[in-house]
Structure 1
Amino acid sequence: MKILLAVDGSSYTKKMLAYLAAHPEFLVDATSITAFTVQPALPPRARAALGKTQADAFHAEEAAKVLDPVIRFLKRKGFNKPAAGWKVGQAGETIAKFAETGKFDLIIMGSHGNSALRNLVMGSVATKVLANCKVPVLLVR
């Protein structure tokens, strides 16, 4: 089973990792696990002022801050070859596209569990992943 862990470094990611620690069958049954994060794009003026090289370095640095602890967690749990990836864009749509193009069997992500009304007004990454993806999603609240 190919598992995609959608992570953002928040307390919801930590809850999802705690869930995985309590349910090691997800790690045992996995043939591959990829931790994936999406970085929001810099405003055009900021990107122009920094230049492509500096902007790309900034995004890579921010992604590493999110991904490195997750990779360390997976290795501590005995999964020795976790992969990591990141992209810049809108989180929900980017996660869904990455999951489908990567032919993942399952997406696992943390969610804050907003009410349906709040999701309608504000939206949420989890809602957008569910709306844009055919890959099964396990949401941990």
Structure 2
Amino acid sequence: MKFLLATDGSAPALRAVKYAAKLVALMEESREHKVTLVSVHDDAGLRHAKALVGSEAVQDYLRELSDKELRPAIRALDAAGIRHDIVIRTGSIAGEIVALANKGRFDMIVLGSKGRGAMMDLLIGSVAQRVLATAKQPVTLVK
């Protein structure tokens, strides 16, 4: 089974990674499982920064940010003895998660839900809602 674990370094995202690690551990050990961590940053709001400092500097900054946010998830999977791959992308966060899930033929997407509240999510939406609405795969949200 192939799991795509989206993380942004938040506490709910780390809980989602730990939950997925438990799922993998509970599954039949003779089957090969693939776990991929993905970090996505929306760079649309950084157009002015790109004009000032250049696209490469912005990409380097986003890469460093992703590396920092991925560290707790990597430690959790390493501690559970689960091998994993890492993917770092920029663009529409939900769109990139779903596109990767489709292209990589993942069986399940696991991500944390920050739980801002129904009114806030109604006004601005959430990545979790957009992934749920557009993914073809089962999506597990962890609070």
Deviation string for 1:14-34 (max 9, x for gaps)?
222343455432695661100
Q: Does 1:62 align with 2:65?
A: yes
* 1:91 aligns with one of 90, 93, 97: 93
| Worse overlay, 29-38 or 19-28 | 19-28
Tell me the equivalent position of 2:131: 129
Mapped partners of 2:84, 2:96: distance in 1: 20
Of all paired residues, the percent bearing the same amino acid is 34
Aligned to 2:26: 25
Contact 1:20 1:26 in 2 (8 A): no
Q: CA deviation at 1:90?
A: 1.8
Residue identity opposite 1:88 in structure 2: T
Q: How much has 1:93 moved relative to structure 2? A: 1.5
Alignment partner of 1:50 out of 53, 61, 64: 53
Counterpart secondary structure, 2:137? coil
Which region of structure 1 is more displaced relative to structure 2, 21-30 or 58-67? 21-30
SS of 2:110's partner is: strand
In 2, Cα distance between the equivalents of 1:113 and 1:13? Answer: 12
Distance across 2 between alignment mates of 1:38 and 1:21: 20
CA distance in 1 between partners of 2:117 and 2:52 (Å): 40
CA distance in 1, matches of 2:40, 2:136: 19
Q: In 2, are the aligned partners of 1:2 and 1:106 still within 8 Å (CA)? A: yes
CA-to-partner distance for each residue in 1:70-106, whole Å, 9 max, x for gaps?
1221111011x31001111121111111111111000
Find the aligned partners of 2:28 and 2:38 in 1 and give their Cα distance: 16
Query: Secondary structure in 1 aligned to 2:128?
Result: helix
- TM-score normalised by L of structure 1: 0.86
Partner residue in 2 for 1:138: 140
Partner of 2:9: 9
What are the Cα deviations for residues 35-90 of structure 1, in whole angstroms up to 9, with x where unaligned? 001112052110121112212211111110111221221111011x3100111112
- 8 Å contact 2:8–2:40 — kept in the other structure? yes
Which of 74, 77, 80 matches 2:77? 74
1:55/1:89 Cα in 2 relative to 1: closer, same or farther (>3 Å)? same
